[in-house]
Amino acid sequence: MSKETYPRLAKAHGKELAAMREAIKNEFITNNPEFAGKSDAEIHRLIGEHDKARETERRVRLKEHWEVFTDAVVAIIITIMLLEIPVPREGHTYQDFVSAVIVFLISFFIVADLWFDHHRLFDGVREVSDKIIVIDFVQLGMLAMIPLLTKWIMDDVTSFAMLNFGLTVLAVRLLQVLIGYEVGKIQYKKTPTIWKLQRELARVRLMTTLMANAFLTLFAWFQPQLGHWLFIVIPLLSLTMGVLGKPADNLSEMLAD
pLDDT along the chain (257 residues), means of 10: 50 68 73 70 72 80 90 93 84 81 89 89 86 93 92 87 90 90 88 86 83 88 84 76 57 49
Q: Residue 9: what pLDDT?
A: 45
Q: Residue 68: what pLDDT?
A: 92
3 located within any domain: no
Tell me the one-letter amino acid at 39.
S
Q: Residue 38: what pLDDT?
A: 67
> By three-state DSSP, how is residue 107 classified?
helix
Phi, psi of 92 (to 5 degrees): -135, 115
Q: Residue 195: what pLDDT?
A: 84
Helix (H) or strand (E) holding 235: helix 233-244
2 located within any domain: no
Percent helix, strand, coil in the chain, to 5, is 80, 0, 15
Q: Residue 16: what pLDDT?
A: 75
Domain carrying residue 228: 13-251
193 located within any domain: yes
Contact 179, 121 (CB under 8 A): yes
4 located within any domain: no
8 located within any domain: no
What domain count does the chain have? Answer: 1
31 located within any domain: yes
117 located within any domain: yes
Which residue from 4, 157, 136, 156 is spatially nearest to 74, judged by alpha carbons? 136
257 located within any domain: no
